[in-house]
């Protein structure tokens, strides 16, 4: 129950609930010019449209929404998968994550492309009590690179290749490196449906493995299911976002240094 501590002129709980319910209504249904609610328009609409018997301030409406744990200004995006076999493919991938057979190496692979090599034109400033670290906005761009990587699900270890471009040739190099890293047993490669993952050269190499290497394709638009994407996010936040490099070789060395550091204490991601 919402309670308004506003004294004798407090709004009854029924009216407060009406305003909270109004805040849950998509504005598109109300033919409004805005796409979502803000406090002032919500307070004005509640009075104009008869939800309240008297005007209300935006701060009061803000308190009601806070008590209801409602934040109309926030949105969480998602991507619908048109894959007709979405559920089946998800179950297959998750089964490899949770119950991999003995002598089977499950590796999640993908590419992180268009990684910019940025040189900050002025040094940043470290954090201090009450102040976050500061980073110079102006930079000089020294090109881009691509990271091709595979994450071993059971151990959490990563094998990565840094290249100037991304194509079927570079991806095949990664596959061969993974097979050399895990020569015994079966190799299951979890990957998306990108065209460079199915070039004639890759299909020929896969056939030559005689069943010792298997591709497990993700559903369409389901990169969130690929564990290497979690690692790419960690790499971006911990090693790249604040970095300043002046050349391809320096950024590549930085990435490989992070990979070595990661692998020294690697642990598998806990998939739930």
Give pLDDT, residue 68.
95
210 half-sphere exposure, CB direction, 13 A CA radius: 1
pTM score, whole prediction: 0.82
The label of the residue with tokens 């919500």 reads: 42
Give pLDDT, residue 30.
66
User: How far apart (Å, rounded) are the C-alpha atoms in residues 103 and 188?
Assistant: 11
The alpha carbons of the chain give a radius of gyration, in whole angstroms, of 26
141 half-sphere exposure, CB direction, 13 A CA radius: 6
Please identify, in words, the CATH class of the domain defined by 86-264: alpha beta
Give pLDDT, residue 131.
92
Give pLDDT, residue 216.
97
Residues of the chain predicted below pLDDT 70: 1-9, 29-31
Q: How many residues does the chain have?
A: 272
- In this structure, the number of other CB atoms found within 10 A of the CB of residue 64 comes to 24
């Amino acid at each position: 129950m919402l309670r308004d501590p506003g004294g004798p002129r407090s709004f009854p709980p029924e009216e407060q609930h009406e305003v909270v319910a109004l805040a849950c209504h998509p504005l598109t249904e109300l033919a409004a010019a805005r796409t979502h609610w803000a406090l002032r328009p919500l307070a004005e609409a509640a009075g104009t449209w008869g939800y309240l018997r008297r005007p209300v301030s935006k701060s009061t409406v803000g308190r009601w929404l806070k008590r209801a744990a409602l934040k109309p200004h926030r949105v969480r995006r998602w991507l619908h998968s048109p894959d007709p076999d979405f559920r089946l493919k998800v179950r297959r991938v998750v089964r490899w994550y949770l119950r991999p057979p003995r002598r089977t190496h499950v590796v999640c692979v993908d590419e992180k492309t268009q990684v910019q090599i940025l040189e900050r034109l002025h040094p940043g400033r470290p954090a201090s009590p009450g102040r976050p670290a500061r980073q110079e906005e102006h930079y000089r761009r020294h090109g881009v690179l691509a990271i091709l990587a595979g994450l071993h699900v059971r151990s959490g270890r990563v094998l990565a290749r840094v290249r100037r471009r991304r194509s079927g040739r570079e991806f095949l190099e990664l596959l061969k490196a993974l097979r050399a890293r895990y020569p015994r047993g079966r190799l299951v490669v979890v990957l998306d449906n990108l065209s460079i993952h199915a070039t004639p050269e890759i299909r020929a190499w896969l056939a030559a493995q005689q069943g010792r290497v298997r591709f497990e394709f993700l559903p369409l638009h389901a990169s969130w299911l690929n564990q290497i994407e979690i690692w790419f996010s960690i790499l971006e936040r911990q090693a790249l976002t604040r970095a300043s490099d002046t050349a391809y070789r320096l950024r590549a060395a930085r990435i490989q240094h992070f990979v070595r550091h990661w692998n020294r204490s690697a642990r598998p991601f806990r998939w739930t």
